[in-house]
Structure 1
Amino acid sequence: MRSKIIGTTLPVLEIQLDAGDRIVGVPDQLSWMSGDVTLTTSTAGGGAGGLFGLVSRAVSGGGLFMTEFHAERGPGNVAFAAKLPGSFVPVEIAPGGGYIVHRHGFVCGSPGIEVTTAFQQTLGGAVFGGEGFMLQKLAGQASAFVELSGELVTYELQPGQSLLVHPGHVGMFEESVAFELTTMRGIRNALFGGDGLFLVRLSGPGKVWLQSLTAPSLAHALAPYLPGKQG
Protein backbone atom coordinates (compact mmCIF):
# COMPACT_ATOMS: atom_id res chain seq x y z
CA MET A 1 0.00 0.00 0.00
CA ARG A 2 1.31 3.43 -0.97
CA SER A 3 -0.09 6.92 -0.57
CA LYS A 4 0.39 10.33 -2.15
CA ILE A 5 -1.12 13.75 -1.52
CA ILE A 6 -2.12 15.72 -4.61
CA GLY A 7 -2.56 19.49 -4.50
CA THR A 8 -2.08 22.07 -1.77
CA THR A 9 -5.06 24.25 -0.83
CA LEU A 10 -7.74 21.57 -1.23
CA PRO A 11 -5.62 18.42 -1.39
CA VAL A 12 -6.60 14.91 -2.40
CA LEU A 13 -5.30 11.84 -0.58
CA GLU A 14 -4.80 8.94 -2.99
CA ILE A 15 -4.18 5.44 -1.63
CA GLN A 16 -2.68 2.90 -4.05
CA LEU A 17 -3.63 -0.64 -3.05
CA ASP A 18 -1.85 -3.78 -4.20
CA ALA A 19 -3.68 -7.09 -4.49
CA GLY A 20 -4.73 -8.16 -1.00
CA ASP A 21 -4.40 -4.71 0.60
CA ARG A 22 -7.21 -3.28 2.72
CA ILE A 23 -8.02 0.06 4.33
CA VAL A 24 -11.01 1.20 6.38
CA GLY A 25 -12.62 4.63 6.39
CA VAL A 26 -15.75 6.63 7.05
CA PRO A 27 -18.33 5.91 4.27
CA ASP A 28 -18.93 9.54 3.22
CA GLN A 29 -15.21 10.30 2.81
CA LEU A 30 -14.75 8.47 -0.53
CA SER A 31 -14.34 10.78 -3.53
CA TRP A 32 -13.43 8.35 -6.35
CA MET A 33 -11.71 5.04 -6.98
CA SER A 34 -10.41 2.85 -9.80
CA GLY A 35 -9.14 -0.66 -10.41
CA ASP A 36 -10.15 -3.88 -8.72
CA VAL A 37 -11.44 -2.46 -5.42
CA THR A 38 -14.53 -3.75 -3.61
CA LEU A 39 -16.41 -1.89 -0.87
CA THR A 40 -17.96 -3.51 2.20
CA THR A 41 -19.85 -1.27 4.63
CA SER A 42 -20.74 -2.64 8.05
CA THR A 43 -20.66 -1.86 11.77
CA ALA A 44 -17.48 -3.95 12.07
CA GLY A 45 -14.02 -2.45 11.65
CA GLY A 46 -12.55 0.62 13.23
CA GLY A 47 -12.29 -1.14 16.58
CA ALA A 48 -16.03 -1.40 17.16
CA GLY A 49 -15.41 -3.92 19.96
CA GLY A 50 -19.04 -4.70 20.75
CA LEU A 51 -21.97 -2.37 21.45
CA PHE A 52 -20.05 -0.01 23.73
CA GLY A 53 -17.22 0.39 21.23
CA LEU A 54 -19.70 0.92 18.40
CA VAL A 55 -21.56 3.65 20.28
CA SER A 56 -18.29 5.30 21.32
CA ARG A 57 -17.10 5.42 17.71
CA ALA A 58 -20.44 6.83 16.50
CA VAL A 59 -20.47 9.57 19.15
CA SER A 60 -16.89 10.55 18.31
CA GLY A 61 -17.89 11.41 14.74
CA GLY A 62 -16.67 8.16 13.22
CA GLY A 63 -20.24 7.02 12.58
CA LEU A 64 -21.99 3.72 13.15
CA PHE A 65 -20.64 2.26 9.92
CA MET A 66 -17.18 1.82 8.45
CA THR A 67 -16.32 1.01 4.85
CA GLU A 68 -13.55 -1.46 4.01
CA PHE A 69 -11.80 -0.95 0.68
CA HIS A 70 -10.25 -4.23 -0.49
CA ALA A 71 -8.12 -4.81 -3.57
CA GLU A 72 -8.97 -8.45 -4.17
CA ARG A 73 -7.33 -9.76 -7.35
CA GLY A 74 -5.40 -6.75 -8.61
CA PRO A 75 -4.27 -3.22 -7.78
CA GLY A 76 -6.57 -0.24 -7.37
CA ASN A 77 -6.71 3.38 -6.22
CA VAL A 78 -8.96 5.05 -3.65
CA ALA A 79 -9.08 8.86 -3.33
CA PHE A 80 -10.32 11.12 -0.54
CA ALA A 81 -10.75 14.86 -1.22
CA ALA A 82 -10.42 17.39 1.60
CA LYS A 83 -13.69 18.89 2.84
CA LEU A 84 -12.05 22.21 3.76
CA PRO A 85 -8.78 23.90 2.76
CA GLY A 86 -6.07 22.21 4.79
CA SER A 87 -3.84 19.15 4.99
CA PHE A 88 -3.81 15.39 5.34
CA VAL A 89 -1.43 14.29 8.11
CA PRO A 90 -0.12 10.69 8.18
CA VAL A 91 0.32 9.04 11.59
CA GLU A 92 1.71 5.72 12.78
CA ILE A 93 -0.27 4.31 15.69
CA ALA A 94 1.00 1.72 18.17
CA PRO A 95 -0.16 0.51 21.59
CA GLY A 96 0.49 3.37 24.00
CA GLY A 97 1.22 5.68 21.08
CA GLY A 98 -2.21 6.81 19.91
CA TYR A 99 -3.56 10.23 18.96
CA ILE A 100 -6.46 12.46 19.99
CA VAL A 101 -7.99 14.29 17.00
CA HIS A 102 -10.84 16.71 16.40
CA ARG A 103 -14.31 15.45 15.57
CA HIS A 104 -14.44 14.16 11.96
CA GLY A 105 -10.63 14.25 11.75
CA PHE A 106 -10.17 10.56 10.95
CA VAL A 107 -10.13 9.87 7.19
CA CYS A 108 -8.89 6.29 6.75
CA GLY A 109 -6.52 3.75 8.21
CA SER A 110 -5.16 0.26 7.85
CA PRO A 111 -6.90 -2.69 9.53
CA GLY A 112 -6.13 -2.57 13.24
CA ILE A 113 -7.24 1.05 13.69
CA GLU A 114 -9.52 1.76 16.67
CA VAL A 115 -11.70 4.90 16.58
CA THR A 116 -13.45 5.84 19.83
CA THR A 117 -14.58 8.89 21.78
CA ALA A 118 -11.89 10.63 23.83
CA PHE A 119 -13.92 13.58 25.11
CA GLN A 120 -17.41 15.06 24.74
CA GLN A 121 -18.71 18.33 26.16
CA THR A 122 -21.68 20.54 25.28
CA LEU A 123 -20.58 24.17 25.00
CA GLY A 124 -23.81 25.77 23.80
CA GLY A 125 -26.17 25.55 20.85
CA ALA A 126 -24.14 27.82 18.57
CA VAL A 127 -20.87 25.93 18.95
CA PHE A 128 -19.82 23.54 16.16
CA GLY A 129 -23.33 23.50 14.71
CA GLY A 130 -24.83 22.51 18.05
CA GLU A 131 -22.71 19.35 18.26
CA GLY A 132 -20.60 20.59 21.15
CA PHE A 133 -16.90 19.89 21.55
CA MET A 134 -15.85 16.30 20.82
CA LEU A 135 -12.55 14.55 20.30
CA GLN A 136 -11.75 11.21 18.68
CA LYS A 137 -9.13 8.78 19.91
CA LEU A 138 -7.14 6.80 17.36
CA ALA A 139 -5.54 3.72 18.90
CA GLY A 140 -4.55 0.16 18.02
CA GLN A 141 -1.77 -0.87 15.64
CA ALA A 142 -2.18 0.87 12.28
CA SER A 143 -1.26 3.59 9.82
CA ALA A 144 -3.84 6.35 9.43
CA PHE A 145 -4.53 9.76 7.90
CA VAL A 146 -6.10 12.73 9.68
CA GLU A 147 -7.60 15.79 7.96
CA LEU A 148 -6.76 19.17 9.52
CA SER A 149 -8.08 22.54 8.33
CA GLY A 150 -6.17 25.65 7.33
CA GLU A 151 -2.49 26.12 8.11
CA LEU A 152 -0.85 23.85 10.70
CA VAL A 153 1.16 25.02 13.69
CA THR A 154 2.96 22.35 15.72
CA TYR A 155 4.37 22.47 19.24
CA GLU A 156 6.50 19.95 21.11
CA LEU A 157 5.36 20.44 24.71
CA GLN A 158 7.83 19.56 27.43
CA PRO A 159 6.79 18.00 30.76
CA GLY A 160 4.92 20.64 32.75
CA GLN A 161 4.57 22.97 29.75
CA SER A 162 0.98 23.90 28.83
CA LEU A 163 -0.90 25.70 26.08
CA LEU A 164 -4.36 27.29 26.14
CA VAL A 165 -6.21 26.77 22.85
CA HIS A 166 -9.62 27.72 21.48
CA PRO A 167 -11.48 24.38 21.05
CA GLY A 168 -11.94 24.86 17.31
CA HIS A 169 -8.20 25.17 16.75
CA VAL A 170 -7.39 21.86 18.43
CA GLY A 171 -6.41 19.65 15.51
CA MET A 172 -4.55 16.67 16.96
CA PHE A 173 -2.18 15.75 19.78
CA GLU A 174 -0.34 12.70 21.03
CA GLU A 175 -2.15 10.73 23.73
CA SER A 176 0.69 11.50 26.16
CA VAL A 177 -0.59 15.11 26.23
CA ALA A 178 -3.06 15.81 29.05
CA PHE A 179 -6.06 18.00 28.27
CA GLU A 180 -8.87 19.69 30.15
CA LEU A 181 -11.61 22.18 29.30
CA THR A 182 -11.37 25.45 31.21
CA THR A 183 -13.17 28.80 31.20
CA MET A 184 -11.63 32.25 30.99
CA ARG A 185 -13.94 34.51 32.97
CA GLY A 186 -14.41 38.17 32.20
CA ILE A 187 -14.40 37.68 28.42
CA ARG A 188 -17.88 37.97 27.01
CA ASN A 189 -18.27 35.76 23.95
CA ALA A 190 -21.59 35.71 22.11
CA LEU A 191 -20.69 32.55 20.20
CA PHE A 192 -20.31 30.50 23.37
CA GLY A 193 -23.06 32.37 25.25
CA GLY A 194 -22.75 33.84 28.72
CA ASP A 195 -19.84 35.57 30.37
CA GLY A 196 -16.81 33.43 29.61
CA LEU A 197 -14.64 31.88 26.94
CA PHE A 198 -14.02 28.13 26.79
CA LEU A 199 -10.42 27.09 26.16
CA VAL A 200 -8.63 23.75 26.13
CA ARG A 201 -5.54 23.40 28.30
CA LEU A 202 -2.99 21.05 26.69
CA SER A 203 -0.13 19.95 28.97
CA GLY A 204 3.05 18.13 27.95
CA PRO A 205 4.89 16.02 27.28
CA GLY A 206 3.95 15.43 23.67
CA LYS A 207 3.38 16.92 20.24
CA VAL A 208 0.41 19.13 19.38
CA TRP A 209 -0.99 20.06 15.94
CA LEU A 210 -3.15 23.21 15.82
CA GLN A 211 -5.32 24.17 12.84
CA SER A 212 -5.85 27.78 11.78
CA LEU A 213 -9.26 27.30 10.14
CA THR A 214 -12.35 26.40 12.16
CA ALA A 215 -15.72 25.45 10.68
CA PRO A 216 -17.71 27.83 12.98
CA SER A 217 -15.45 30.77 12.05
CA LEU A 218 -15.84 29.97 8.35
CA ALA A 219 -19.62 29.77 8.70
CA HIS A 220 -19.69 33.06 10.61
CA ALA A 221 -17.64 34.79 7.90
CA LEU A 222 -19.93 33.51 5.12
CA ALA A 223 -23.23 34.17 6.94
CA PRO A 224 -23.67 37.82 5.77
CA TYR A 225 -23.45 36.71 2.13
CA LEU A 226 -25.99 33.87 2.35
CA PRO A 227 -29.65 34.44 1.41
CA GLY A 228 -31.98 34.80 4.37
CA LYS A 229 -34.63 32.24 5.26
CA GLN A 230 -37.88 32.59 3.40
CA GLY A 231 -41.29 32.41 5.10
Structure 2
Amino acid sequence: MTDVKLLGLWYSPFSHRVEWALKIKGVKYEFIEEDLQNKSPLLLESNPVHKKVPVLIHNGKSICESMVIVEYIDEAFEGPSILPKDPYDRAVARFWAKFLEDKVPAVGKTFFRKGEEQEKSKEEALEVLKILDNELKDKKFFVGDKFGFADIAANFVGLWLGAFEEASGVVLVTRETFPNFCAWRDEYINCSENKEYLPPKDELIAHFKARFQAVAAGSK
Protein backbone atom coordinates (compact mmCIF):
# COMPACT_ATOMS: atom_id res chain seq x y z
CA MET A 1 0.00 0.00 0.00
CA THR A 2 1.64 3.24 -1.11
CA ASP A 3 1.28 6.33 1.05
CA VAL A 4 0.99 9.50 -1.06
CA LYS A 5 0.45 12.98 0.33
CA LEU A 6 0.44 16.29 -1.54
CA LEU A 7 1.09 19.55 0.30
CA GLY A 8 -0.42 22.34 -1.75
CA LEU A 9 -2.91 25.17 -2.25
CA TRP A 10 -6.25 24.75 -3.99
CA TYR A 11 -5.73 27.90 -6.06
CA SER A 12 -2.09 27.23 -7.02
CA PRO A 13 -1.36 26.27 -10.65
CA PHE A 14 1.81 24.58 -9.39
CA SER A 15 -0.11 22.34 -6.99
CA HIS A 16 -2.61 21.49 -9.71
CA ARG A 17 0.16 20.36 -12.05
CA VAL A 18 0.93 17.63 -9.55
CA GLU A 19 -2.72 16.79 -8.94
CA TRP A 20 -3.33 16.29 -12.66
CA ALA A 21 -0.32 13.98 -12.95
CA LEU A 22 -1.57 11.91 -10.01
CA LYS A 23 -5.08 11.73 -11.47
CA ILE A 24 -3.85 10.83 -14.94
CA LYS A 25 -1.95 7.94 -13.34
CA GLY A 26 -4.90 6.99 -11.16
CA VAL A 27 -2.93 7.42 -7.94
CA LYS A 28 -4.90 7.84 -4.70
CA TYR A 29 -3.48 10.59 -2.52
CA GLU A 30 -4.19 12.80 0.46
CA PHE A 31 -4.29 16.53 -0.28
CA ILE A 32 -3.10 18.69 2.60
CA GLU A 33 -4.01 22.37 2.21
CA GLU A 34 -1.23 24.65 3.43
CA ASP A 35 -1.38 28.18 4.83
CA LEU A 36 1.57 30.16 3.51
CA GLN A 37 1.14 32.71 6.30
CA ASN A 38 1.51 29.94 8.86
CA LYS A 39 3.51 27.15 7.24
CA SER A 40 3.12 23.76 8.81
CA PRO A 41 6.03 21.91 10.43
CA LEU A 42 5.47 19.18 7.83
CA LEU A 43 6.02 21.64 4.96
CA LEU A 44 9.12 23.18 6.56
CA GLU A 45 10.53 19.73 7.22
CA SER A 46 9.65 18.40 3.77
CA ASN A 47 10.97 21.37 1.79
CA PRO A 48 13.63 23.01 3.99
CA VAL A 49 15.35 24.70 1.01
CA HIS A 50 12.48 26.70 -0.55
CA LYS A 51 9.76 26.21 2.09
CA LYS A 52 7.03 26.31 -0.55
CA VAL A 53 4.38 24.12 -2.16
CA PRO A 54 3.85 21.79 -3.83
CA VAL A 55 5.58 18.93 -2.07
CA LEU A 56 4.83 15.28 -2.80
CA ILE A 57 5.47 12.83 0.01
CA HIS A 58 5.64 9.25 -1.25
CA ASN A 59 6.19 6.56 1.35
CA GLY A 60 7.78 9.11 3.66
CA LYS A 61 10.14 10.60 1.04
CA SER A 62 9.68 14.20 -0.13
CA ILE A 63 9.94 15.47 -3.71
CA CYS A 64 9.81 19.22 -4.44
CA GLU A 65 9.27 21.52 -7.46
CA SER A 66 6.14 20.89 -9.50
CA MET A 67 7.59 19.68 -12.82
CA VAL A 68 10.23 17.57 -11.06
CA ILE A 69 7.34 15.97 -9.18
CA VAL A 70 5.39 15.40 -12.40
CA GLU A 71 8.37 13.54 -13.92
CA TYR A 72 8.74 11.52 -10.72
CA ILE A 73 5.07 10.52 -10.82
CA ASP A 74 5.41 9.53 -14.47
CA GLU A 75 8.32 7.23 -13.64
CA ALA A 76 7.19 5.93 -10.24
CA PHE A 77 3.60 4.89 -10.99
CA GLU A 78 1.86 2.70 -13.54
CA GLY A 79 -0.64 4.24 -15.92
CA PRO A 80 -0.78 6.42 -19.05
CA SER A 81 2.54 8.05 -19.96
CA ILE A 82 2.77 11.79 -19.32
CA LEU A 83 6.08 12.35 -21.11
CA PRO A 84 6.18 11.10 -24.72
CA LYS A 85 7.89 7.77 -25.40
CA ASP A 86 9.80 9.04 -28.44
CA PRO A 87 13.16 10.58 -27.38
CA TYR A 88 12.81 13.58 -29.71
CA ASP A 89 9.26 14.29 -28.55
CA ARG A 90 10.42 13.99 -24.93
CA ALA A 91 13.12 16.57 -25.61
CA VAL A 92 10.59 18.93 -27.25
CA ALA A 93 8.22 18.53 -24.30
CA ARG A 94 11.00 19.29 -21.82
CA PHE A 95 12.14 22.30 -23.86
CA TRP A 96 8.71 23.92 -23.78
CA ALA A 97 8.20 23.04 -20.12
CA LYS A 98 11.49 24.81 -19.35
CA PHE A 99 10.52 27.79 -21.50
CA LEU A 100 7.22 28.08 -19.66
CA GLU A 101 8.90 27.76 -16.27
CA ASP A 102 11.34 30.55 -17.16
CA LYS A 103 9.06 32.97 -19.01
CA VAL A 104 5.50 32.63 -17.70
CA PRO A 105 6.16 34.20 -14.26
CA ALA A 106 6.65 37.51 -16.10
CA VAL A 107 3.11 37.13 -17.48
CA GLY A 108 1.66 36.73 -13.99
CA LYS A 109 3.56 39.72 -12.61
CA THR A 110 1.79 42.02 -15.07
CA PHE A 111 -1.39 41.87 -13.01
CA PHE A 112 0.27 42.96 -9.78
CA ARG A 113 2.02 46.05 -11.18
CA LYS A 114 0.84 49.55 -11.93
CA GLY A 115 1.71 52.39 -14.30
CA GLU A 116 4.97 52.19 -16.23
CA GLU A 117 6.02 48.98 -14.49
CA GLN A 118 2.83 47.29 -15.63
CA GLU A 119 3.26 48.53 -19.21
CA LYS A 120 6.81 47.19 -19.35
CA SER A 121 5.70 43.87 -17.88
CA LYS A 122 2.81 43.73 -20.34
CA GLU A 123 5.23 44.09 -23.26
CA GLU A 124 7.26 41.15 -21.94
CA ALA A 125 4.10 39.08 -21.42
CA LEU A 126 2.85 39.76 -24.94
CA GLU A 127 6.20 38.69 -26.37
CA VAL A 128 5.96 35.37 -24.52
CA LEU A 129 2.39 34.87 -25.73
CA LYS A 130 3.47 35.68 -29.30
CA ILE A 131 6.10 32.93 -29.14
CA LEU A 132 3.56 30.45 -27.80
CA ASP A 133 1.01 31.45 -30.44
CA ASN A 134 3.57 30.84 -33.18
CA GLU A 135 4.57 27.46 -31.74
CA LEU A 136 0.97 26.28 -31.45
CA LYS A 137 0.07 27.02 -35.08
CA ASP A 138 -1.66 23.96 -36.58
CA LYS A 139 -1.05 22.02 -33.35
CA LYS A 140 -3.64 20.53 -30.99
CA PHE A 141 -1.18 20.35 -28.08
CA PHE A 142 2.50 21.17 -27.62
CA VAL A 143 3.61 17.68 -28.66
CA GLY A 144 1.34 15.85 -31.10
CA ASP A 145 -2.34 15.25 -30.49
CA LYS A 146 -2.04 14.13 -26.87
CA PHE A 147 -2.33 16.28 -23.75
CA GLY A 148 0.96 15.82 -21.92
CA PHE A 149 3.97 17.12 -20.03
CA ALA A 150 4.37 20.53 -21.70
CA ASP A 151 0.63 21.21 -21.52
CA ILE A 152 0.68 20.51 -17.79
CA ALA A 153 3.58 22.97 -17.51
CA ALA A 154 1.45 25.51 -19.41
CA ASN A 155 -1.47 25.32 -16.98
CA PHE A 156 -1.09 28.92 -15.79
CA VAL A 157 -1.70 30.31 -19.28
CA GLY A 158 -4.28 27.59 -19.92
CA LEU A 159 -6.71 28.58 -17.16
CA TRP A 160 -5.25 30.87 -14.51
CA LEU A 161 -4.36 33.63 -17.00
CA GLY A 162 -8.02 34.00 -17.97
CA ALA A 163 -9.02 34.12 -14.29
CA PHE A 164 -6.37 36.79 -13.67
CA GLU A 165 -7.68 38.83 -16.59
CA GLU A 166 -11.28 38.70 -15.38
CA ALA A 167 -10.33 39.40 -11.76
CA SER A 168 -8.08 42.37 -12.57
CA GLY A 169 -9.70 43.85 -15.69
CA VAL A 170 -6.30 43.73 -17.47
CA VAL A 171 -6.64 41.89 -20.80
CA LEU A 172 -3.62 40.34 -22.53
CA VAL A 173 -5.19 37.73 -24.79
CA THR A 174 -7.73 38.15 -27.58
CA ARG A 175 -8.64 35.71 -30.34
CA GLU A 176 -7.65 38.31 -32.92
CA THR A 177 -4.08 38.71 -31.63
CA PHE A 178 -3.39 35.12 -30.53
CA PRO A 179 -5.71 32.78 -32.49
CA ASN A 180 -3.47 29.69 -32.23
CA PHE A 181 -2.94 30.13 -28.51
CA CYS A 182 -6.69 30.55 -27.98
CA ALA A 183 -7.43 27.41 -30.00
CA TRP A 184 -4.96 25.49 -27.80
CA ARG A 185 -6.51 27.00 -24.65
CA ASP A 186 -9.98 25.88 -25.75
CA GLU A 187 -8.66 22.38 -26.35
CA TYR A 188 -6.80 22.48 -23.05
CA ILE A 189 -9.89 23.39 -21.03
CA ASN A 190 -12.26 21.00 -22.79
CA CYS A 191 -10.13 17.90 -23.44
CA SER A 192 -11.27 14.80 -21.56
CA GLU A 193 -7.84 14.26 -19.97
CA ASN A 194 -8.03 17.64 -18.26
CA LYS A 195 -11.56 19.01 -17.98
CA GLU A 196 -12.58 17.11 -14.84
CA TYR A 197 -9.37 18.10 -13.04
CA LEU A 198 -9.61 21.87 -13.46
CA PRO A 199 -10.63 23.99 -10.45
CA PRO A 200 -13.82 26.05 -10.93
CA LYS A 201 -12.93 29.23 -12.80
CA ASP A 202 -15.48 31.34 -10.92
CA GLU A 203 -13.86 30.37 -7.61
CA LEU A 204 -10.42 31.28 -8.97
CA ILE A 205 -11.75 34.65 -10.17
CA ALA A 206 -13.27 35.40 -6.76
CA HIS A 207 -10.06 34.44 -4.97
CA PHE A 208 -7.77 36.53 -7.16
CA LYS A 209 -10.16 39.49 -7.28
CA ALA A 210 -9.83 39.66 -3.49
CA ARG A 211 -6.04 39.39 -3.84
CA PHE A 212 -5.86 42.21 -6.40
CA GLN A 213 -8.13 44.41 -4.29
CA ALA A 214 -5.93 43.83 -1.24
CA VAL A 215 -2.80 44.73 -3.22
CA ALA A 216 -4.47 47.88 -4.58
CA ALA A 217 -5.59 48.91 -1.08
CA GLY A 218 -2.11 48.35 0.30
CA SER A 219 -0.50 50.51 -2.39
CA LYS A 220 -2.64 53.57 -1.59
TM-score, normalisation: structure 1: 0.27
**Max radius of gyration: which structure?**
1
